[in-house]
């Protein structure tokens, strides 16, 4: 009886620990990924970090001091193209026209 109870419990415990391992120990996962990605350089995590950095650069377009990002067309325009500051942000002349 005790053995019967122990068997299913052990299996459950096992699968649980594997899932927990996947989420909790990315180090070991990256190690196995490294083996699979034999083509790529071992710095597999570096491009990922770089990518997020790049994405951030694209999203957060740093406008120059004499530029602004129109909140309607989301284009970076020169200050001379600024029609007015809307409630959400600057609006360019083209959009205001
Ligand atoms: Zn615009």
Q: What is the 3-state secondary structure (H, E, C) of 43-85?
A: CCHHHHHHHHHHHHHHHCCCCCCCEEECCCCCCEEEHHHEEEE
Model pTM above 0.75: no
Give the model's pLDDT for residue 44. 55
Tens of pLDDT, residues 29-75: 555 555 555 565 555 555 555 555 555 555 555 667 899 999 999 99
Could you tell me which residues are beta bridge partners of residue 77? 68
Percent of the chain with pLDDT over 90: 29
- Expressed in angstroms and rounded, the spacing between residue 39 Cα and the centre of ligand 1 is 45
What is the C-alpha to C-alpha distance for residues 25 and 20, in angstroms, rounded to an integer?
8
- Expressed in angstroms and rounded, the spacing between residue 41 Cα and the centre of ligand 1 is 43
**Coil, strand or helix: which one is 94?**
helix
- Expressed in angstroms and rounded, the spacing between residue 56 Cα and the centre of ligand 1 is 22
Residues at Cβ < 5 Å from ligand 1 ion: 70, 72-73, 92, 95
- Expressed in angstroms and rounded, the spacing between residue 3 Cα and the centre of ligand 1 is 73
């Amino acid at each position: 009886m005790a053995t019967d109870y122990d068997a299913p419990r052990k299996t459950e415990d096992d699968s649980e620990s594997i899932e927990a391992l996947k989420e909790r120990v990315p180090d070991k996962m990256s190690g196995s990924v490294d083996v699979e990605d034999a083509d790529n350089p071992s710095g597999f995590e570096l491009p990922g970090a770089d990518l997020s950095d790049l994405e951030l650069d694209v999203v957060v377009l740093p406008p120059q001091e004499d530029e602004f990002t129109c909140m309607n067309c989301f284009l970076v325009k020169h200050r001379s193209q600024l029609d007015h500051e809307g409630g959400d942000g600057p609006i360019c002349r083209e959009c205001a026209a």
